[in-house]
């Protein structure tokens, strides 16, 4: 981390607490949240599944949504995803 709070850098529309959930639930919850968002809005996801990094990267690559940031601190992975498209 570089000292910036995510909320200072991005205007997060919704935060999803997916800690303790394993594949595919963090992705399922994010997909549901993105459906209710407008293009350009941002969702922040907190997860503890080590495989989630690969899952979020693949999801964004496949769907065209933007993975703006991913980080890990104290066993919690944080993903910042921007909705692209309708």
- CATH code, domain carrying 69: 3.30.110.40
Q: Is 47 part of any domain?
A: yes
* Residue from 12, 23, 76, 84 carrying the catalytic annotation: 23
The reported pLDDT for the residue numbered 5 is: 52
The reported pLDDT for the residue numbered 6 is: 53
Q: Edge-to-edge, what's the strand order for the sheet holding 12-18?
A: 12-18, 42-47, 76-82, 66-73
pLDDT tens per residue across span 3-54: 445 556 889 999 999 999 998 999 999 999 999 999 999 999 999 999 999 9
Q: Is 23 part of any domain?
A: yes
Q: Is 49 part of any domain?
A: yes
Residues constituting the chain: 86
- Give CA 36 to chain center in angstroms: 15
Range of the domain at 52: 6-82
Number of independent structural domains in the chain: 1
pTM of the model: 0.88
Q: Is 1 part of any domain?
A: no
The reported pLDDT for the residue numbered 8 is: 63
Q: Is 57 part of any domain?
A: yes
Q: Is 15 part of any domain?
A: yes
Q: First CA to last CA across the chain, in angstroms?
A: 31
Q: Catalytic residue at 18?
A: no
Measure the CA–CA gap between 22 and 4, rounded to whole angstroms. Answer: 28
Helical segments of 1-86, H only: 6-9, 25-35, 52-63
């Amino acid at each position: 981390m570089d000292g910036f709070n995510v909320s200072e850098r991005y205007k997060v529309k919704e935060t999803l607490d997916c800690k303790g959930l394993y594949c595919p639930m963090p992705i399922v919850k994010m997909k549901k949240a993105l459906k209710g968002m407008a293009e350009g809005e941002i969702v922040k996801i907190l997860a503890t599944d080590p495989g989630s990094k690969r899952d979020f990267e693949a999801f964004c690559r496949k769907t065209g949504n933007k993975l703006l940031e991913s980080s890990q601190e104290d066993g919690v992975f944080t993903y910042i995803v921007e909705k692209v498209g309708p």
